[in-house]
């Protein structure tokens, strides 16, 4: 019985520790990109410290990376007060605003770890340049948070 428990633990542990980062692919839809990013930020340190930020970075559009990167700079930006509310947040809702052929606009309602609610404008674009990200939906811009309300 004990060996079964040990084997199960080892399998679960190795699956969690070595969870792979999802890479952009042309068949991932815009709302799925945001869902991947927000779900990762919701559990930022699972399975390792800043895994959520790393996953979010994977879907940063090349033009966005040129502005916010490299990953170390992006990580510091995510810990700044304007974006830190996304880390380990409690809940999020993705609301469609406008979807065009090569650009998508969404509004995100997010409940931070402290219970305060914020809104974000989230913009994605298809990568047009040839290369590994061609035709992939990737994040081009995220607004600073807009306070929506506080919990009582």
Confidence at residue 150, expressed as pLDDT on a 0 to 100 scale? 56
**Number of domains making up the chain:** 1
What pTM does this model have?
0.85
The whole domain housing 78 covers 28-149
Q: Give the pLDDT of residue 89.
A: 98
Instruction: Classify residue 132: in a domain, yes or no.
Output: yes
**What rounded mean pLDDT belongs to the chain?**
89
Rounded Cα distance between 68 and 18, Å, is 26
Whether residue 47 is contained in a domain is answered as yes
Q: Is the peptide bond before 70 cis (omega within 30 degrees of 0)?
A: yes
CATH of the domain at 63: 3.10.450.100
Instruction: For residue 136, count CB atoms less than 10 angstroms from its CB and return exposed for 0-12, middle for 13-18, buried for 19 or more.
Output: buried
What tokens does 70 get?
Answer: 């490299």
Q: What is the pLDDT of residue 18?
A: 53
Q: What is the pLDDT of residues 99-126, one digit of tens each?
A: 999 999 999 999 999 999 999 999 999 9
Which comes out higher in pLDDT, residue 78 or 6?
78
96 located within any domain: yes
- pLDDT tens-digit map of 73-102: 999 999 999 899 999 999 999 998 899 999
């Amino acid at each position: 019985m004990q060996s079964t428990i040990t084997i199960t633990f080892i399998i679960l542990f190795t699956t969690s520790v070595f969870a792979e980062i999802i890479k952009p692919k042309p068949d991932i839809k815009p709302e799925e990109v945001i869902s991947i990013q927000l779900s990762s930020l919701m559990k930022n340190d699972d399975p390792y410290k800043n895994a959520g930020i790393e996953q979010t970075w994977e879907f940063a559009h090349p033009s966005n990376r040129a502005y916010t990167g490299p990953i170390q700079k992006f990580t510091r930006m995510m810990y700044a007060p304007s974006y830190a509310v996304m880390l380990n947040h409690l809940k999020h809702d993705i609301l469609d605003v406008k979807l065009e052929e090569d650009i998508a606009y969404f509004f995100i309602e997010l409940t931070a770890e402290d219970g305060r609610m914020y809104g974000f404008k989230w913009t994605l674009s298809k990568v047009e340049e040839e290369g590994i990200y061609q035709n992939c939906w990737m994040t081009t811009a995220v607004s600073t948070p807009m306070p929506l309300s506080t919990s009582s």
